[in-house]
């Protein structure tokens, strides 16, 4: 390669720069999403691993939210993936258990703890915070039962 | 500025006669003792209700008084009587020594939203033949309209009610209900935090901060309000500018022109930077002025010549027809090309739009994550400090598979990164939009040109087949078309010039607005404000030390310049405290405001009403110190009313040596009026 004259004899140094990280992959973000899901959409504030995976995938982007709501309300989107399992979610679950925000009960179910309730209460008290996520979970409300999630998984798989 | 409660009268009409209570208050410390559920809170709530302040408790317009005043009353012999009518009357005094009596119906035929105001001591010296004036509360406008009770009340206590901004950007008065939570603390929910209950239902922006600013009479209040107003005005001016700019663009569209160099932000322009209208001509762009000049010249040339006869021009017409036909073919081809180009650029543009939307979502999430991080640190999450909650080793701030070589950006870096991308893509979007817009204009011009050519071809053909002695149809039509075009161009040019003038006017107003904004003080707090807060801090520290605060070293406490609340290490103090110290903090802060009002100019009314101040949470000496501290109120023409159900045998020793008025109730506060006196009041000079 021919270099411009002013670079002749110059030494190049490459330095590693920190990489940009999508906000979904921040621990605190995913932890908060998890807590909100448990807090808003789950009976007895407990949910199965499957449900947590499905909802945390659905809540990610405006498209995934819309698609999920559509499918949930019976509008078919055969060309779109509604259910994905995100490995980051498993790590987030490890962290929330470590922080004692959520406890594991009966194998594959998770329940919010008192500490977790305190944090989700704080999140709930600021209307501006996680506005879109709250809206989405509000749309689902208590309709997103385990049974319906299971049905949904049969429907699309 | 002062408000003192002189007397309260409660009246309940039952089928078996009147029940009620009469209490007379002195200046200084007043201790009101009654058994739990005897109706002690009724007294405090009555003051709130009589002054039309129930909005400070909740958004609902429910009467904030217990059953005994609204529904059924249990008299001492366990008999329950229904309440037919009830009313509360409070006699108050302001800083000028003026006395007024306000009376409001609770149940009965009288309108509950009317407050009768007697300008005199109607309770303590009745029979003066005072006539009441009616004012109304609650129904919209109580704060501002002529007959609004709170307008009268604010004038009586000497408050100049400022205007504040709502969530939606509109303005409203700072309702008195917003300020009283710093002076009247009710038992049920008033003790969980400073300003635990605020009337958020008014949708006032920063309501807690704004009301504290007003209470402390800080200059920052006025400055912030002015800045807010100027900012909103600036937005309105910019919107106006955008509107005119859009109109210019519409006008230009009529002749397939685009506006060039129009500044996005209102400002004046010099001769060289003046915006122009460009129109597409023969594949290139020329300024509207040049186009008009050229067209006028062409028209003049045409007009100077006589219109030729067909036989004179037959050959030229034939050539012109051929030229026009091939020109039309070329134009049609160019039109199709340009159309495709626009289509593909439109597709690119929507790609940019999508990218921007997802960047904006990322930005929002990162802003949220930053906020969540703060909540997390309050909850003392380990991941928030970059540590694994289980093994306490350092972990990356990412949920991706652990890989030490890839260090993720911090949230702040990410935000910066995303915002710079938003800026870049925003610029790209704007440039792309402008280019598409110009191409659409060019497309319009090409189509116009094609139409002209078709008309021309028709005219040429008709000329060829008409009689030799006739004038050339083509020459006549060309002249007409050119005249029309010149007219339209001139019209557009005039209209654009007019709109440019309007822009000049807008630019002038915008500059004035910006200059005024620049002149506002830079820092938020004035020197006087800072001194006031420093003084409040001294008083606060001295109070909580005296009350025995131990969770943190009192001397390390600060009054925040952000929200004017006590803080420790940059966090609201409330987070760090034990329950008992929380109570001490509340006492120290609320009473600190009372003491501050003695030496500094504030809007505090020198009145503090504490309903059951949670002394059980603290040790007895703390409560005693509160009495000591509050007893100085009398000498300063202030009033501190403390209602408590503390047992008399523990209460009285605490009041030893403290100058106070002691009001005790045996049994229920409300009782049949033919029974012996309800309250016994004792004055002690300490």
User: Which range marks the domain in which residue B490 is found?
Assistant: 219-303+473-524
How many angstroms away from the CA of B378 is the closest CA of chain A?
9
User: Cβ separation of A24 and B375 shorter than 8 Å?
Assistant: no
Which of A21, A24, A91, A94 is most worth mutating to test chain B (most B CB atoms within 10 A of its CB)? Answer: A21
Q: Verify that B640 and B504 share a domain, yes or no.
A: no
Give B208-227 pLDDT, tens digit per residue. Answer: 999 999 999 998 877 877 88
Domain identity same for B466 and B487: no
Note whether B461 and B484 are same-domain residues.
no
What CATH number has the domain bearing residue B545? Answer: 3.40.50.300
Residues B540 and B519 grouped into a single domain: no
User: Considering only alpha carbons, which residue of chain B is nearest residue A19?
Assistant: B408
Same-domain check for residues B552 and B428 = no
Chain A residues touching residue B398 (CB < 8 angstroms): 21, 25-27
**Contacts of residue A119 in chain B, CB cutoff 8 Å?**
375-376, 379, 381
**Ranges of chain B whose pLDDT falls below 50:** 678, 686
**B9 and B102 part of one domain:** yes
CA distance A155 to chain B (A): 29
Copy the structure tokens of residue B441. Answer: 């204009």
Q: Of the residues B488, B504, B524, which one is the last residue of a structural domain?
A: B524
Task: Give the β-pairing of A102-105 and A109-112.
Answer: antiparallel
What percent of chain A is modeled with pLDDT above 90? 13
- How far B386 CA sits from the closest chain A CA (Å)? 10
Same domain, B625 and B657: yes
- How far is residue A71's CA from residue A44's CA, in Å, rounded to a whole number? 25
- My answer on whether B500 and B563 are in the same domain is no
pLDDT for the residue B686: 46
Q: What's the pLDDT at A1?
A: 56
Q: What is the total count of domains within chain B?
A: 3
Q: What is the pLDDT of residues B569-579, one digit of tens each?
A: 877 777 667 88
| CA–CA dist B159, B164 (Å, integer) | 15
- Residue A22 pLDDT: 86
Does B378 reach chain A within 8 Å, measured CB to CB?
A: yes
Tell me how crowded residue B423 is: count the other CB atoms within 10 A of its CB: 11
Q: What is the pLDDT of residue B404?
A: 58
Q: Do A20 and B414 form a contact (C-beta atoms < 8 A)?
A: yes
Same domain? B212 vs B256: no
Q: What ipTM was predicted for this assembly?
A: 0.83
Q: What is the pLDDT of residue A9?
A: 76
pLDDT the model gives residue B141? 66
Looking at chain A, which residue has its C-alpha nearest residue B365? A23
pTM of the shown model: 0.56
Which residues of chain B are within 8 Å of residue A89 when distances are taken between CB atoms? 399
B446 and B358 share one domain:
yes
For residue B44, which of B626, B669, B674 has the smallest C-alpha distance? B669
Residues B448 and B378 grouped into a single domain: yes
Counting one residue from A and one from B, how many pairs have CB atoms under 8 Å apart? 105
- In whole angstroms, give the CA distance from residue A42 to residue B296: 77
Q: Where a domain ends, among B507, B524, B541?
A: B524
Quote the strand ranges of B160-239, DSSP E: 163-165, 171-173, 184-185
C-alpha distances (whole Å) from B643 to each of B233, B577, B601 are 48, 25, 28
Domain boundary among B524, B552, B585: B524
Rounding to the nearest 10 degrees, give the CA dihedral for residues B453, B457, B460, B464: 170
pLDDT of residue B305: 85
Q: What is the pLDDT of residue B402?
A: 59
Instruction: Tell me: do B312 and B281 sit in the same domain.
Output: no
Using CB atoms, which residue from A20, A88, A123 is nearest to B372? A123
Q: Tokens at residue A24, please?
A: 């979904």
Chain A nearest C-alpha distance from B196 (Å): 13
pLDDT digits 0-9 by tens, A17-34: 788 888 888 889 999 999
């Amino acid at each position: 390669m021919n270099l411009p004259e002013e670079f002749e004899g110059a030494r190049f140094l490459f330095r590693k720069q920190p990489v940009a990280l999508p906000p979904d992959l921040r621990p605190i973000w995913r932890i908060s999403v998890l807590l909100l899901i448990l807090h808003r959409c789950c009976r007895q504030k407990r949910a199965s691993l499957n449900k947590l995976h499905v909802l945390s995938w659905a809540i990610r982007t405006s498209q995934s939210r819309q698609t999920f709501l559509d499918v949930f309300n019976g509008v078919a989107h055969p060309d779109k993936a509604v259910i994905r399992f995100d490995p980051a979610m498993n790590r987030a679950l490890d962290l929330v258990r470590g922080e004692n925000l959520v406890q594991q009960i009966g194998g594959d179910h998770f329940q919010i703890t008192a500490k977790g309730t305190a944090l989700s209460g704080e999140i709930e008290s600021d209307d501006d915070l996680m506005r879109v996520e709250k809206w989405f979970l509000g749309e689902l409300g208590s309709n997103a039962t385990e049974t319906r999630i299971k049905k949904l998984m049969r429907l699309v798989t | 500025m002062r408000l003192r409660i002189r007397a309260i009268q409660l009246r309940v009409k039952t089928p078996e006669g009147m029940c009620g209570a009469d209490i007379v208050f002195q200046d200084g410390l007043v201790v009101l003792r009654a058994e739990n559920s005897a109706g002690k809170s009724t007294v405090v709530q009555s003051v709130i209700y009589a002054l039309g302040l129930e909005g400070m408790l909740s958004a609902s317009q429910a009467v904030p008084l217990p059953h005994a005043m609204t529904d059924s009353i249990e008299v001492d012999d366990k008999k329950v009587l229904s309440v037919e009518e009830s009313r509360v009357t409070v006699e108050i005094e302001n800083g000028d020594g003026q006395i007024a009596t306000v009376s409001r119906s609770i149940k009965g035929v009288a309108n509950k939203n009317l407050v009768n105001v007697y300008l005199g001591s109607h309770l303590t010296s009745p029979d003066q033949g005072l006539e009441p004036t009616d004012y109304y509360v609650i129904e919209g406008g109580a704060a501002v309209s002529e007959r609004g009770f709170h307008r009268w009340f604010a004038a009586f206590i000497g408050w100049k009610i400022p205007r504040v901004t709502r969530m939606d950007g509109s303005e409203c008065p700072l309702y008195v209900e917003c300020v009283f939570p710093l002076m009247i603390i009710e038992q049920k929910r008033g003790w969980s935090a400073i300003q635990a209950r605020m009337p958020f239902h008014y949708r006032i922006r920063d309501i807690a901060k704004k009301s504290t600013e007003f209470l402390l009479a800080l200059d920052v209040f006025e400055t912030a309000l002015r800045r807010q107003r100027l900012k909103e005005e600036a937005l309105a001016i910019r919107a106006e500018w955008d509107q005119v700019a859009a109109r210019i663009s519409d006008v230009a569209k009529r002749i397939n022109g685009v506006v060039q160099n129009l500044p996005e932000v209102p400002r004046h322009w010099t001769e060289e930077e003046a915006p122009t209208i460009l129109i597409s001509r023969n594949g290139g762009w020329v300024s509207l002025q040049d186009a008009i000049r050229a067209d006028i010249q062409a028209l003049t040339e045409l007009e100077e010549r006589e219109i030729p006869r067909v036989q004179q021009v037959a050959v030229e017409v034939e050539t012109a027809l051929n030229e026009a036909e091939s020109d039309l073919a070329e134009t049609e081809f160019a039109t199709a090309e340009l159309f495709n180009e626009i289509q593909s650029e439109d597709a690119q543009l929507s790609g940019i739009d999508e990218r921007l939307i997802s960047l904006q979502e990322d930005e929002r999430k990162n802003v949220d994550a930053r906020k969540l991080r703060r909540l997390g640190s309050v909850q003392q999450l380990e991941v928030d400090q970059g540590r694994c909650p289980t093994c306490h080793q350092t972990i990356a701030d990412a949920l991706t598979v652990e890989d030490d070589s890839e260090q993720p950006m911090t949230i702040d870096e990410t935000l910066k990164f995303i915002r710079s991308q938003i800026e870049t893509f925003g610029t790209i979007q704007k440039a792309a939009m402008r280019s598409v817009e110009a191409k659409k204009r060019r497309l319009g011009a090409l189509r116009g040109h094609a139409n002209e050519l078709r008309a021309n071809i028709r005219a040429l053909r008709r000329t060829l087949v008409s009689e030799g002695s006739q004038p050339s149809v083509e020459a006549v039509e060309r002249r007409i078309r050119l005249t029309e075009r010149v007219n339209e161009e001139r019209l557009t040019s005039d209209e654009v010039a007019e709109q440019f003038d309007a822009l000049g006017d807008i630019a002038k107003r915008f500059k004035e607005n910006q200059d005024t904004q620049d002149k506002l003080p830079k820092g938020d707090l004035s020197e006087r404000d800072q001194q006031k807060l420093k003084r409040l801090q001294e008083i606060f520290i001295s109070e909580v030390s005296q009350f025995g605060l131990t969770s943190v070293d009192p001397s390390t406490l600060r009054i925040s310049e952000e929200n004017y609340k006590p803080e420790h290490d940059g966090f609201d103090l409330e987070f760090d405290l034990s329950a008992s110290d929380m109570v001490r903090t509340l006492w120290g802060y609320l009473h600190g405001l009372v003491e501050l009002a003695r030496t500094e100019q504030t809007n505090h009314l020198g009145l503090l009403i504490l309903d059951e101040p949670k002394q059980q949470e603290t040790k007895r000496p703390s409560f005693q110190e509160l009495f000591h501290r509050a007893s100085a109120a009398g000498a300063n023409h202030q009033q501190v009313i403390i209602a408590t159900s503390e047992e008399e045998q523990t209460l009285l020793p605490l009041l030893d040596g403290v100058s106070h008025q002691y009001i005790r109730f045996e049994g229920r506060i409300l009782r049949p009026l033919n029974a012996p006196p309800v309250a016994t009041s004792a004055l002690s000079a300490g």
